[in-house]
Amino acid sequence: MTTLTVAARFCGPAASANGGYFAGLVAALAPVTVSVRLLQPPPLNTPLSVSALAEGQLRVRNGAEPIGEARPAVLQLEALPPPDYLEALEASRRYAGFRHHRFPSCFVCGTQRTRGDGLRIFAGPLPERGVVAAPWVPDASLDAGDGKVRAEFMSAALDCPGYYAVAPDDRMLLLAQFTAHVDRRVHIGESCTVIGWQLAVEGRKHEAGTALFDGKGELCGRARALWIAPRGATVSELPGAR
């Protein structure tokens, strides 16, 4: 058994982890691509135990309380073509979070986070392409020590654009499951583009795809997320809530 801890810097809602970042930390402990299910809001600054189960599964607990689980998965997702960087920059000016943001301190998409602290990925709509898009230039604090971005930060970058792809009306959703695959880690200071698009809607369930491209427009990471609209739940009860 091993442990992982989510530092307060990497929050989504103020009192819990960003879902994509948490999933990235868990995925880093597995030798293959895994699908991470969030069962409870991952607490901050708290050592969480990670147990290996049968068939490559992992379980994350806070004491006796289950927080998340992961199982080997095949990511079935074909990325849409990316816009160019300037097009993504223009789309970001229409970011819904500039008008209202449920969690403005979110590590990934929070408007209150400064450069070098949050990722500041502000995905705005490109209606003619059917996607939301944002530019992203990773800063030095994300360096794995080799001049490239740590995989868990790429996983985080692939999270929030999916929400804005499926909830343009800013409805309350919770991140229930996240499956990410990093094809290649991008370089620090590289002008990247992140996109998100809706895959399917079934009742309260919303599926989103996201993709991250490097400065040359080459695909570097993909993720598939399941977002669920809760019934009668408060924000504090929601894992990865928006």
Same domain for 229 and 168: yes
- The number of C-alpha atoms within 13 Å of 192 and in the hemisphere containing its C-beta is 30
Of the candidates 181, 216, 77, 198, which has an alpha carbon nearest to the alpha carbon of residue 126?
Answer: 198
Residue 77 within any structural domain of the chain: no
Residue 215 within any structural domain of the chain: yes
Residue 80 within any structural domain of the chain: no
Which of 15, 47, 72 represents a domain boundary (last residue)?
Answer: 72
Same domain for 100 and 201: yes
What is the model's pTM? 0.94
Give the residue numbers spanning the domain of 208.
Answer: 85-237
Same domain for 118 and 187: yes
Same domain for 59 and 95: no
Residue 242 within any structural domain of the chain: no
Which of 43, 72, 101 represents a domain boundary (last residue)?
Answer: 72
Distance CA 212, CA 153 (A): 12
Of the candidates 10, 8, 235, which has an alpha carbon nearest to the alpha carbon of residue 107?
Answer: 10
Same domain for 111 and 35: no
Same domain for 132 and 232: yes
What amino acid occupies position 131? V
Same domain for 113 and 223: yes
Same domain for 204 and 112: yes
Same domain for 218 and 131: yes
Residue 89 within any structural domain of the chain: yes
Same domain for 145 and 100: yes
CATH classification of the domain holding 212:
3.10.129.10
Residue 237: per-residue pLDDT: 39
- pLDDT tens digits for range 87-134: 999 999 999 999 999 999 999 999 999 999 999 999 999 999 999 999
Residue 242: per-residue pLDDT: 53
134, 122 Cβ separation under 8 angstroms: yes
Number of domains in the chain: 2
Same domain for 173 and 59: no
Distance CA 15, CA 28 (A): 23
Residue 79 within any structural domain of the chain: no
Same domain for 43 and 96: no
Q: What are residue 236's phi and psi, to 5 degrees? A: -65, -20
Residue 143 within any structural domain of the chain: yes
Residue 78 within any structural domain of the chain: no
Which stretches in the chain have pLDDT values below 50? 233-241
Bridge partner residues of 118 (DSSP) = 115
Q: What is the torsion angle, in degrees rounded to the nearest 10, for the CA atoms of residue 34, residue 154, residue 90 and residue 127? A: 0
Residue 168: per-residue pLDDT: 84
